[in-house]
Amino acid sequence: MTIALQQKPIDILQKIFGYKSFRGQQAEIIEHIINGKDALILMPTGGGKSLCYQIPALCLEGIVVVISPLIALMQDQVDALKQLGIKASALNSSLSSGEASSVEELMLSGKLDIVYVSPERLNTERFLDLLTRCRLTLFAIDEAHCVSQWGHDFRPEYTEFSKLKEKFPDIPRIALTATADDLTRQDIIKNLRLENGKVFSSSFDRPNIRYLVTPKDNEKKQLLNFIETEHKGDSGIVYCISRNKVEQIAEWLKKQGYNALPYHAGLNNKIRQKNQDYFIKNDGVIMVATIAFGMGIDKPDVRFVAHMDLPKSIESYYQETGRAGRDGLPSNAWMVYGTEDIVKLRQFIYSSNANTEHKRIEHQKLDSLIGFAETMKCRRRVLLEYFGEKTENKPCNNCDTCLEPVTGFDATVAIQKALSCIYRTGQRFGAAHIIDILMGKENEKIKGFNHNKLSTFGIGQEYSKFQWKSIFRQIIAVGFVNVDMEDYGALKLTPDSNKILRGQEKIFLRNETIKEKSSKTKRTEPNKRSSFSAPAAEDLFQKLRALRLSLAKGQNVPPYVIFHDSALIDMIIAMPKNLSELGKISGVGQSKLERYGEEFLKAIKEHLYTNH
């Protein structure tokens, strides 16, 4: 069947979005959708998923219905589309009844290309009935991992979307997500009834993100050093495991002179919304948050994501770090972690109300993340292989283990000493006490229990306290020792301990246990915007940013919906002299050229005049 297109996809891409060519599988996916077929689209954050339904919306007559759980993000997406001259609206609980009715009228009269709706609204009979009276082109289910109980952000309302196939059998449906392991993919296909759809899976690699992971050793100082060395003046997100820690870190960063805001579920809703809005619409803001913040955050110039604690799985880590560098410019994913993180997360799983099978899978996911943190291999390879992607056996040269290769050392004797000390103290004490015994510390607690009389007292003085903490972290991570939270964090031997105590197995650990690593990161490729050879270029970048911010504030929209940083950088490199030359820059479509072209050309001309 030949489908009459209003415009060709490539023409829309170039004229409206301002991009010269499609990336990866975009062209194939768009053709598949235009031909009325279902699909599951797996594409990394910043990989261009939204174009896969936005372009069909302009090629075909009718409305594309985008289902998204991200009410806070919908208006930003609508604002960005309107900047391009695309007719878009959102329907969610933030609208008054009058505003909602106006959007519904536009839908019925065929005056919208795209409408974003919340899952709760889509599931109402009233809204489904409204859709039967509209001309529909496509259903796009965003953040599709939410349909899976194994996904990192399960939403029960997503399980009701299977009814779309029954109620609208002739309307194609696509599911989109940036993170899904095999188990989650199977759930998406089954629960959304996409058995006959094609699976498009792009590479999960984000080559512009540098992965940096280091053990905790005065974590606040480590964070400050990282930000001051790498990201002064940049926007970033700092994730913490608890609300209390979020408040503490945000307040502490403020005292260090940074524009930092807290975000967690315990804050008043208005404060949360205000903080998020400020973060999105301003430059150089650091958001300190729990995982309550960020899914679908569309801010492209987040230059770093820092984790002050381990997340619960690789999926969560990948999703959260994916909020950095959506514009393709160099960005950092930085994380510190310690033994207490591993213990806390295992305790969460142990004490949850989930069934045995669910707990088993959660433990597996956590173990995979711990393996990623402790690896001596290229971190990028570990991440990609987790998502089932084949990789070449060569360094990526953009993660800490490639930039500063880590070797293993034979830790068998050190581990035997540690396990023996745990056994001789009756498996009743925590790591700090065991380390003090091994190092021969004559404190009151050790004397009180006569632990200075043990044969293991002082037998580990060849290692520093930092090094012993690292050894204990690693043996807890691999399961030679358990931490009993019901017994005040006492260390307990496991069945695997016996093999090591008997000398039946040699164990190699990361060499960081011998060599204390600096918390400073090795910066070999600075951010593109900071690497202008002439100070005048950096000066122009700041002028263009200020112009963009002024235009954005005038419309109450985020600066990035006008132009991304990458477009500003390309303007500085190309120095366009007229609208025709400016229009050739990636991300400058026809609508933006008409609206903003003259003002940006004027700023560039003034700069050239001043500096010549």
pLDDT at 152 (0 to 100): 59
State the average pLDDT for the chain: 89
In this structure, the chain runs to a length of 612
What does the pLDDT average to over 337-351? 87
Residue 330 shares a structural domain with residue 399: yes
pLDDT tens string 504-530: 888 888 877 444 444 344 443 434 444
Q: Does residue 567 contact residue 593 with C-beta atoms inside 8 Å?
A: no
Q: Is the pLDDT of residue 559 over 70?
A: yes
Residue 489 shares a structural domain with residue 573: no
* Confidence grade of residue 151 (pLDDT, cut at 50, 70, 90): low
Q: Is 217 exposed, middle or buried (0-12, 13-18, 19+ CB in 10 A)?
A: middle
| Distance separating alpha carbons of residues 179 and 147, to the nearest angstrom | 12
Q: Is the pLDDT of residue 575 over 70?
A: yes
Domain boundary among the residues 143, 173, 201 is at 201
**Which among 576, 581, 608, 582 has a CA at the least distance from the CA of 597?**
582
pLDDT at 530 (0 to 100): 46
Residue 461 shares a structural domain with residue 508: yes
pLDDT at 364 (0 to 100): 87
pLDDT at 295 (0 to 100): 64
* Measured torsion, CA atoms of residues 21, 6, 34, 54, in degrees rounded to the nearest 10: 60
Estimate to the nearest angstrom the gap between the alpha carbon of 212 and the chain centroid.
14
Q: Which CATH number belongs to the domain containing residue 496 in this structure?
A: 1.10.10.10
What does the pLDDT average to over 547-553? 94
pLDDT tens string 262-314: 999 899 989 998 999 899 999 899 999 998 787 657 788 999 999 999 998 99
pLDDT at 466 (0 to 100): 85
What are the C-alpha distances in Å from 578 to residues 294, 541, 575, 585, 602?
Answer: 39, 18, 9, 12, 10
* Confidence grade of residue 71 (pLDDT, cut at 50, 70, 90): confident
Residue 136 shares a structural domain with residue 260: no
* Confidence grade of residue 547 (pLDDT, cut at 50, 70, 90): very high
Residue 82 shares a structural domain with residue 214: no
% pLDDT > 90, the chain: 61
In a domain, 44, yes or no: yes
What does the pLDDT average to over 532-555? 87
For the ranges 389-393, 560-564, 573-577, the lowest mean pLDDT is seen at 389-393
pLDDT at 533 (0 to 100): 58
For the ranges 96-105, 350-359, 389-398, 593-602, the lowest mean pLDDT is seen at 350-359
Residue 187 shares a structural domain with residue 232: no
pLDDT at 176 (0 to 100): 93
Residue 428 shares a structural domain with residue 378: no
In a domain, 537, yes or no: yes
pLDDT at 5 (0 to 100): 63
What does the pLDDT average to over 544-550? 94
pLDDT at 90 (0 to 100): 94
Residue 287 shares a structural domain with residue 305: yes
* Domain, as residue range, for 474: 408-513
Q: What is the pTM of this model?
A: 0.82
| Distance separating alpha carbons of residues 422 and 425, to the nearest angstrom | 5
pLDDT at 516 (0 to 100): 43
Q: Which CATH number belongs to the domain containing residue 352 in this structure?
A: 3.40.50.300
pLDDT at 150 (0 to 100): 65
pLDDT at 180 (0 to 100): 75
**Domain count across the chain:** 4
pLDDT at 528 (0 to 100): 46
Domain boundary among the residues 386, 403, 420 is at 403
In a domain, 520, yes or no: no
